[in-house]
Every structure is written in structure tokens, then in C-alpha cells.
Amino acid sequence: MMTKPGCVYLVGAGPGDIGLVTLKGYTYLQQAEVVLYDRLVNPLLLEYASQQAEFIYCGKMPKKHILRQEAINELLVKHGLEGKNVVRLKGGDPSVFGRVGEEAAALEQAGVPYEIVPGITAGIGAAAYAGVPVTHREHSLSFAVITGHDKSPSGEPLIDWHALANGIDTIAFYMGLGNLPYISEQLISHGRSSDTPVLLIQWGTTGKQRTLQGNLATIVQKAKAAQFKNPAIILVGDVSTLKKGESWFESKPLFSQHLLLGRAGEEPSEMARHLREQGAEVFEFPRMQKKKHLLKKADIPANRDLLFLSPASVDIFFESLQANKIDIRRIQGEFYGISKKTVKAIESYHCFGKEIAERSPDAPPLVILGDPEGFHRKEQRYPFVFEPDFIATHSFIRVQQTEQTFSRLQEEERIETIIFPNARSVKTVTEGFQACGETPENISTYARVICFGEKSKQAAVKAGYAVSEVLSEPTEEALQEVLLQKEAPLVAAALS
């Protein structure tokens, strides 16, 4: 019996900023069983894929391919015929120099269903993040995207240079820095003024974005002096003069800072969102998966007060009641939450909850529900409450795919400073580093280590890190103050 074919989604990931992927692309990425991704895809996007997804790196650099295009086509067909949902994640727009036509043809020939999901192309996205619109009523009424290299023997683009030089106001050359002298020479020799403004944009829309302004006569020497390299867009035209100093993107307070926020739980942190709003690129590491431990009927306490350590413990408790067909009216004890957020979770089930601070110290012992790590952490904070009666509702395990994200970011030199807010973050982050073949001693040779307090400092030193700074107070505000003061980008382990 033949397996029903799956579907291959050829998705544009946008030029770099993970917020620029389309809603449809994001949805398909979450549903994918296999993800084949390119070098120019921001590795942080991988964190939004399914925890069970298989990742296949298809990185391509000039004259160096991890996988040849023919091999990529074969993998797409193979997994599609196996009935899997496959996402082929491409930088920018898949139809703009993304070879999507070749991949679609291979899938069509094999009878594998596919969809093409457009993305924001780099020529438009990178220009916008540099503060330059590619069209403007006073400067540009036409726009063209041109490959900076092609399949010709020399790799120099074989195009109608006369038509390009004289008929297009704004030209975006993709991946053409290696041919920048040739491009400038051809445009000038075919009629474009040597004074025509040029803007180079490297790693556009990411924290590594760099820009360089010049004109057709000067840009080659300037690019050489500044050591500009691909990936980059060469934007030729008068619109380039609209860039005056830092763009709206480059002027964000935390622009160029790459933050690694270590999390011990499953949910993304609010602090990560706040830092992204300030312009930082944030990697929450390591990615964690919740493993439920549903309670057996005999283990569910009916006549004791219950203390929940997290919203997750509340959800699993009520799921256990349903699984065991236990009526909530049989539970006679009162419900307490360790925090306001946990109390809200209790109330979402139409039950009355109180914060633990409201409970009398003389009340009978509680039954505590949560994850073991959370129990040990909260025990130090509320010693008068905690008794031996503890029931594990869940635990957290590291998602292996997060290791691939870390490795890609490390290759791109986006790991620079680590901040530990507590001892638990030291443990989870260190275990994640070790799974990636990294050690605290080695990472301390190229990354600064900042701790939120003395306890996290002690744990970090014991683990082998060289701690360089302790925050004045363990708050998000103190962290942002340090980030704003430091010139070097920071990597942070988040508050749990």
C-alpha cells in the first residue's frame, strides 16, 4: 500500500528579522515534520518549529555548498513521498534568486503536492531597515532586482547593462560584493553617472546590519577598506541619499545586541519580548519541553489544602481530575498559588484561589504540586510553607533542536556575553552548552559573564565561568541599564 504524499511548503523566511516571516509561513513552520533551511535563514526561526521536527541544514556560500541543489531536490521529494509535511525555509523570498522554480519542478515531476509561500525580499526589507524606500516620488519611479553573480564562466552577470544603467532608477544587486568592481565599471561605461549614490547593506534587518555609503566611483575602495562581505545588498540610485545617519532600526537602544536568555520553563519570557522591542535579537536558551505526570486517582489529595507552584501545575491537576473522572466537589481543601499568575490559573477553572502569603503559618501542612526544580527553588524562598508532601505534576526536558540553533548562532559569532539571574539558570544553560560541545571555561574566553546576584555568581564560579560583573539589583530594569551602558553586545540567561 502506497503512502499518501505529504506536502512541501517552499517558504520565504524574510531577510533576517524573525518578525518579518509571514503568518502563513510561521504556521507551516510550526506544523512541519521536516525543515530544510538555508544559511541566510535566521537560526532563531528554528525555535518556532515543532519540538519533534527534523532539521536539515542546506547552507550555501559562494563556491561552497553543504548540499548540492540536486541533493536538496531529492530530499524534498523523498520526505514528501513519505507523507510528511516539509518546510523548505529560504532567506528572503523563495522566488527571488531562491531557485524555487527548480525545486517546484522536481516536486511536480514526482507528484508531490507543494505550495509557494512568498516572503519579504532582501532588496526591499534591508533597504527599509536602513531607512531607504526603494521607490520615492521625487527620486525613484522604478526598481529592479539583479543577481550579483550568475552561471557565466566568470560569474559576472550577463545582462543588458545599457538598459539597466539608463532605464532603472533604483537597482538592488544581490550577493554581488565579489563583483562590485565589475558592476560599478559596467554601469558607468554604459551611461550611469559616476556620481550615482550607492548604499551597501550587510546582514540587513538583523543585529549585525552594517551600511556603507558612497557612489559608483568610490564605493569599491570604501568597501575594501571597510572589509564588507556578503551577505549584502548593493543599492544603486538617488534614494540612497535619503539615509541620513542612523535609521529607525539602527537607532533602537539595544540595536546590534544579541541576547541569549536561558529559560528553565516551557513558556517564552516577557523579558525577551521587551528586549526585542528595544532592538535586541533574543535567543531563549535552552528551549524546554514540558513532560506531564498525570496524577493517579489514589494520589489526588481530597482533604488537604493544595499549593500550586505554577500555572502548568494547575492545568495538569485539573486534567488529572478529568482523566480520573473525579468531581471537583470531592476536593475539600483550599487552593493556593505561589504567585498572582498561578492564582489566575486557578481562577480560570472557576475555583477560588489565594496567594500563599494569605495563609496562616499555623494552618495544617500543605500538599505542594509542581515540578521538582521549581520545588527546590521556591523552598528556599518560602521555608515556612514547605513540607515533605510534594507531588510532581511535570518536569522539563531540553529540546534537542535548540542545540542546532545555538551552533548556528555560534558560527555567526553571535554569542558574546552571558547573564545568569539565578543559580537555576546556571544549571540549565550549562547543560545546554555542554550538549553543544561547549564548556564554561572555553565560553568565558570570548563571552562576558554577568550575574544578577551573589547566589548566581557563586553557582557560575563553581560551574567554571569567569564572572566579570554582578548587577546592582536583580531586575529587568537593572539589566537594561547595563545593556545600554555597554558597547559590547550581551548574551543573557533569563529570569525564570
At 274-290, the pLDDT tens digits run 989 999 999 999 998 88
Does 167 share its domain with 223?
yes
Which residues partner with 198 through β-bridges?
214, 236
Q: Is residue 250 part of a domain?
A: no
- H/E segment holding residue 10: strand 7-12
**Got the DSSP string for 215-237?**
ETTTHHHHHHHHT--SSEEEEES
Are 77 and 20 within one domain? yes
Average pLDDT over residues 109-119: 97
Residue spans of beta strands (DSSP E) within 48-135: 54-57, 60-61, 64-65, 85-90, 114-117
415 and 447: one domain?
A: yes
CATH assignment of the domain containing 169:
3.30.950.10
**Domain count along the chain:** 4
Query: Could you tell me where the beta strands, DSSP code E, fall in 23-153?
Result: 34-37, 54-57, 60-61, 64-65, 85-90, 114-117, 143-147
Task: Work out the angle at residue 142's Cα, subtended by the Cα atoms of residues 121 and 137, and round it to the nearest 5 degrees.
Answer: 110
Query: Does 38 participate in catalysis according to the annotation?
Result: yes
Indicate whether 248 belongs to any domain: no
Q: Is residue 492 in some structural domain?
A: no
Give the number of other CB atoms < 10 A from CB of residue 22: 16
In a domain, residue 493? The reply is no
Say if residues 233 and 126 touch (Cβ distance below 8 Å).
Answer: yes
60 is catalytic: yes
403-413 pLDDT, tens per residue?
Answer: 999 999 999 88
Q: Which domain holds residue 378?
A: 295-395
Neighbours of 64 (CB within 10 A): 8
Rounded Cα distance, 353 and 342, in Å: 9
In whole numbers, what is the pLDDT of the chain averaged over residues?
A: 90
pLDDT at 228 over 90: yes
Q: Judge whether 383 and 348 are in contact, CB under 8 Å.
A: no
CATH of residue 55:
3.40.1010.10
Residue partners of 247: CB distance under 8 A and separation at least 6: 129, 130, 131, 132, 211
The amino acid that residue 405 corresponds to is T
**Domain end position, chosen among 395, 419, 448:** 395
- Whether residue 152 is predicted with pLDDT greater than 90 in this model: the reply is no
Q: For residue 199, which phi and psi values (nearest 5 degrees)? A: -125, 125
Reported pTM: 0.87
Please check whether residues 480 and 360 belong to one and the same domain: no
Percent of the chain's residues with pLDDT above 90:
71
Question: How far, in Å, CA of 425 to CA of 436, rounded?
Answer: 17
CB 237 within 8 A of CB 197: yes
Q: How many CB atoms lie within 10 A of CB 158?
A: 11
Q: Is residue 253 situated within a structural domain? A: no
Q: Which of 24, 60, 78, 208 is catalytic?
A: 60
**Does residue 386 have a pLDDT over 90?**
no
Q: How many residues does the chain have?
A: 496
How many angstroms separate the CA atoms of 66 and 55, rounded? 14
Mind listing the pLDDT tens digit for each residue in 440-494? 999 999 888 888 889 889 999 999 999 988 899 989 899 898 888 865 445 555 4
Domain end (from 395, 428, 445):
395
229 given a catalytic annotation: no
Dihedral sign for Cα atoms in the order 474, 480, 485, 488: positive
For residue 251, being part of any structural domain is answered with: no
**The last residue of a domain, from among 333, 366, 395:** 395
Query: Is the same domain home to 265 and 194?
Result: no
Residue 432's domain is classified under what CATH number?
3.40.50.10090
pLDDT at 165 over 70: yes
Distances (CA, A) of 441 to 86, 244, 435: 39, 43, 15
Cβ neighbours for 290, distance < 8 A, ≥ 6 positions apart: 265, 266, 312, 394, 395, 396
My answer on whether 13 and 85 are in the same domain is yes
Q: Find the catalytic residue in 175, 271, 371, 457.
A: 175
Residues 443 and 351 both lie in one domain: no
* All residues at 6 or more sequence positions from 489 whose CB lies less than 8 Å from its CB, including other chains: 207, 256, 257, 258, 259, 414, 416, 417
Q: Which of 138, 123, 54, 48 is nearest to 92 (CA)?
A: 123
301 falls within a domain = yes
The band of 1, judged by pLDDT with boundaries at 50, 70 and 90, is very low
Same domain, 269 and 414: yes
Residues 192, 270 within the same domain? no
Cα 494 to Cα 155: distance, rounded to the nearest angstrom: 46
- The residue-averaged pLDDT of 67-85 equals 95
- Statement to judge: residues 403 and 475 lie in one domain: yes
pLDDT bracket for residue 374 (50, 70, 90): confident
**Element containing residue 457 per DSSP (H, E):** helix 454-463
Note the pLDDT tens digit of each residue in 232-254: 999 999 999 999 999 999 999 99
Select the more confidently predicted residue: 141 or 66: 141
Q: 408 and 328 in one domain?
A: no
Which among 447, 399, 445 has a CA at the least distance from the CA of 290?
399
Given this model, what pLDDT does residue 158 score?
A: 83
Does residue 408 form part of some domain?
yes
* Phi (first) and psi of residue 256, to 5 degrees: 80, 0
Q: Both 61 and 201 in a single domain?
A: no
pLDDT value at 357 more than 60: yes
Cβ neighbours for 495, distance < 8 A, ≥ 6 positions apart: 269, 271, 421, 422, 425, 452, 474, 476
Contact in structure between 493 and 425 (CB atoms under 8 Å): yes
Minimum mean pLDDT among 138-142, 348-352, 448-452: which range?
448-452
